Amino acid sequence: MSEKLFDSEAKVMEIIWEKGPLSAKEISLIASDSIGWNKNTTYTVIKKLEAKGFIRRDEPGFICTPLVTKEQMQKQETESLINKFYGGSKRALFSALLDKEDLTDEQVEELQRLIDKW
């Protein structure tokens, strides 16, 4: 998937990923409570997500189902970030993340276990 998620779209996707398939009405109620959005704002974002292929809307009930997983989007967004700011270098990203941060021995061991998995 080459489409990007804007912040507002990511907020709606988080709701759908967390709660599972929901009606647009349910999404708008959750967004109203958690973000302070009105119904029209939420419905506009839902339409954009559908147009981009991130969700499917089914009748009856205008049920919104995710077509991509959160993990897929995390991977895509991370790769985009690495390409955009670090010239495609994961090493440069890790260097930036770890710069000026003291890690405990336990944290270093955990990072080493993650690296060893690759």
CB neighbourhood size of 46 (10 A): 22
Burial status of residue 76 (CB atoms within 10 A of its CB: 0-12, 13-18, 19 or more): middle
pTM of the model: 0.81
Query: In terms of Cα–Cα distance, which of 37, 66, 39, 73 is closest to 50?
Result: 66
The C-alpha atoms of residue 114 and residue 108 are separated, in whole angstroms, by: 10
Q: What is the pLDDT along the chain (118 residues), one digit of tens a residue?
A: 668 899 999 999 999 999 999 999 999 999 999 999 999 999 999 999 999 999 999 999 899 999 999 999 999 999 999 999 999 998 898 888 888 778 888 988 998 898 898 7
Span 1-87 CATH architecture = Orthogonal Bundle (1.10)
Domain ranges of the chain: 1-87, 89-118
Radius of gyration of the chain (CA): 18
Instruction: Give ∠ CA 2-96-86 in degrees, rounded to 5.
Output: 35
Which 3-state string (H, E, C) describes 88-104?
CCHHHHHHHHHCCCCCC
